[in-house]
Structure 1
Amino acid sequence: MYDASILNGLCIRRESLQGGGMLSYQHSYHAGNHADVLKHIILGDVAAGMFNKDAPIFMLDAFASRGIYDLNSPEALKNRESDSGVGKLWPLRDEPTNPPGVRRWFKLIASLNMDDSYTRFPGSTAMLHAMAREGDRIAACDLHPQEFDTLRVSFQASRRFSLLKRDAFEAIKGMLPPKEKRGLVFLDPSYEVKEEYRAIAKAVAGAHRKFAGGVYVIWYPLLPAERHNELFRELKHSGIRKILRIELDCGDLFPDMQMHGSGMLIVNPPWHAEQAMQQSLNWVCDKLTDGKGRKQFSWLVPE
């Protein structure tokens, strides 16, 4: 059941935890763009695939931020990046041919907006919170004081839903393996510090040694510097098998944006989710880029 009580977040400041430094990344300038579309739809597909088994799941949103963004905020309206994503897709919300993951995403957005708009835009925490079943458990982490305070107001903590003012990398080390024996870990840092690509890969490699059966979902941007290749190299050398790569490159379709695409690396993708994820990627590529984008659905590291 979707929770429409989640409050608006006006300004996102992400904290880079590498080296203890604090940065001023503000996701409100980018909320709802093409990367958010791919990120949240695919994340929902992964979670849904895991729900094919009745056993409870532990879900960790390691870089939670505020959970929802206000697309009418001055920050969001400055560059209107949401026009490259949810703004372009929202008129298609009632199309009967939309894939299941897309329908799920549209339904969540609609549940948070009472005026048939998309201005209250849910992030990853809101997606996982909305999808969680009675026996599942969620932890959402953010170390930045302002972000954590807003997260705490936006969501009601409970026995099944922990709000933690905690370093993401420390949480990954300390909270795995979970008592449920099944787990989904989502990682989408800002990557403002270039070393963070390697730090994420090393954190996943360390977690995998403790919890090899976990599902790890890593989001990454496509930027001119192409530092995502460092993430790829580290993971290829980690010894981890079964890493799926899902990627959308929009090319020069949105020239005002530095980020020209994004991708997801999924360690141990649920077998039940693979068809849904491919359908979602095809739909997003077709509708956001009018079929002009380049997409990847392949194994970075096979089984």
Structure 2
Amino acid sequence: MNYRHDYHAGNFADVFKHIVLSRLIEYLKRKEKAFRVIDTHAGAGRYLLAPKDQRDTRGNPPEWVGGIGKLAGWKPQGEAAGLLAPYLGAVFGNGANQKALSEYPAEYPGSPLLAMELMRRQDRLTACELHPEAAGKLKTLFAGNYQARILTLDGWLVPGAHLPPKEKRGLLLIDPPFEDAADFGRMAEAALRAAKRWQGGSLAFWYPLKHPGPVARFKQMLRESGISDLVYLELEICKRETPPVLHGCGMILRHAPYVLEGEMAAILPQLAARLEAAKGQGRWRYERLTAE
């Protein structure tokens, strides 16, 4: 695996994914009964961000500068302020990390750590990571945490072998590296297995917007899969270019909370305007993929 979570940590795609994740977890918390979050491609769990003046071989700054870096000091307006508070609080805490983003390398939480920050004592986390170095860091991060189960495991095996969890309630997050276009097919197959084995579970699948063909085929596979109650939401921060660049990302959700569409309508216009590469290029959409 060549994908480097640490290189991409905190970029606009992480921000989008983690805001959606935070809203899904907040909805699960509305009921007192415990739930489980299962993260199939968990990474190391926490990342030290490079100094903002550091440049790669192409002269580009770290990716977080165009992501979480743009949210430092941000004051969302209206309903979005309350909806974003759990995510911003988990990332920036008491403000020290916010200050650090402008002065020196700061940390950014991966999906499993963000989930744990938002969960209650009765809730549980299963985080899977196959890469030995990342898995080792993940185990160290959660050492002694009775709420977390860390597995050195190929995340693609989870939908067929580790569902449903004993809590019955919860969320499955599949966020592969997409080093290979075949990941779209694997994700469609994983969605079908997960929907069959965990009919009441919430499912979330992240994907990149770079090559339009694979994304269109992925959505079509899901439409034809027989899986009910799928929606998708997408965020674009710049225009599609040739040769292709990552201009946005999306998430497919099963059993999305009934309030989520309204929440995204409050959040995403402001987020798109905050993260867009140039004025007027930020766009978003929330659409149903299959019937309930």
TM category (shorter chain) comes to 0.7 to 0.9
- RCO higher in structure (CA 8 A, sep ≥6): 1
Does 2:121 match 1:138?
A: no
Cα distance in 2 for residues equivalent to 1:257 and 1:298: 24
Judging changes above 3 Å, is the alpha-carbon distance between structure 1 residues 287 and 166 closer, same or farther for their aligned structure 2 residues? same
Does 2:289 match 1:300?
A: yes
Cα distance in 2 for residues equivalent to 1:76 and 1:105: 26
How far did residue 156 of structure 1 move?
2.5
How far did residue 275 of structure 1 move?
2.5
**141, 159, 164: which one pairs with 2:151?**
164
Judging changes above 3 Å, is the alpha-carbon distance between structure 1 residues 85 and 113 closer, same or farther for their aligned structure 2 residues? same
How far did residue 101 of structure 1 move?
3.5
Judging changes above 3 Å, is the alpha-carbon distance between structure 1 residues 177 and 154 closer, same or farther for their aligned structure 2 residues? same
Q: TM-score, normalised by structure 1?
A: 0.84
Cα distance in 2 for residues equivalent to 1:300 and 1:112: 39
**SS at structure 2 position matched to 1:217:** strand
Q: Which residues of 2 match residues 1-303 of structure 1 at below 5 A?
A: 23-72=1-50, 77-78=55-56, 79=60, 80-92=62-74, 94-95=75-76, 97=78, 98-111=80-93, 114=96, 116-118=99-101, 119-252=106-239, 258-289=245-276, 290-303=279-292
AA in 2 matched with 1:65: G
Cα distance in 1 for residues equivalent to 2:286 and 2:34: 28
Cα distance in 1 for residues equivalent to 2:215 and 2:118: 29
**Which structure 1 segments of 5+ residues have no match?**
1-22
**SS at structure 2 position matched to 1:184:** strand
**SS at structure 1 position matched to 2:121:** coil
Write out per-residue CA displacement over residues 102-148 of structure 1, whole angstroms, 9 at most, x where no aligned residue.
Answer: 22222112238735224211121111111111111110000111010
Determine if contact 1:29/1:76 at 8 Å carries over to the other structure.
no
**How many residues align structurally?**
280
Judging changes above 3 Å, is the alpha-carbon distance between structure 1 residues 72 and 286 closer, same or farther for their aligned structure 2 residues? same
Judging changes above 3 Å, is the alpha-carbon distance between structure 1 residues 91 and 74 closer, same or farther for their aligned structure 2 residues? closer
Write out per-residue CA displacement over residues 72-95 of structure 1, whole angstroms, 9 at most, x where no aligned residue.
Answer: 269985332222211122121x45
Judging changes above 3 Å, is the alpha-carbon distance between structure 1 residues 301 and 157 closer, same or farther for their aligned structure 2 residues? farther
Cα distance in 1 for residues equivalent to 2:17 and 2:54: 18
Judging changes above 3 Å, is the alpha-carbon distance between structure 1 residues 75 and 207 closer, same or farther for their aligned structure 2 residues? farther
Q: CA RMSD in A?
A: 2.5
Write out per-residue CA displacement over residues 196-246 of structure 1, whole angstroms, 9 at most, x where no aligned residue.
Answer: 101111111011111111100111000035422232122111111111111
Q: TM-score, normalised by structure 2?
A: 0.87
AA in 2 matched with 1:117: A
Judging changes above 3 Å, is the alpha-carbon distance between structure 1 residues 300 and 228 closer, same or farther for their aligned structure 2 residues? same
How far did residue 157 of structure 1 move?
4.4
Judging changes above 3 Å, is the alpha-carbon distance between structure 1 residues 105 and 253 closer, same or farther for their aligned structure 2 residues? farther
How far did residue 278 of structure 1 move?
2.9
Cα distance in 2 for residues equivalent to 1:117 and 1:254: 33
AA in 2 matched with 1:292: Q
Cα distance in 2 for residues equivalent to 1:222 and 1:55: 36
AA in 1 matched with 2:100: S
Judging changes above 3 Å, is the alpha-carbon distance between structure 1 residues 216 and 25 closer, same or farther for their aligned structure 2 residues? same
How far did residue 29 of structure 1 move?
2.4
Cα distance in 2 for residues equivalent to 1:212 and 1:50: 16
**SS at structure 1 position matched to 2:72:** helix
Determine if contact 1:41/1:101 at 8 Å carries over to the other structure.
no
Determine if contact 2:208/2:249 at 8 Å carries over to the other structure.
yes
* 1:8 matched residue in structure 2: none
Cα distance in 1 for residues equivalent to 2:29 and 2:274: 28
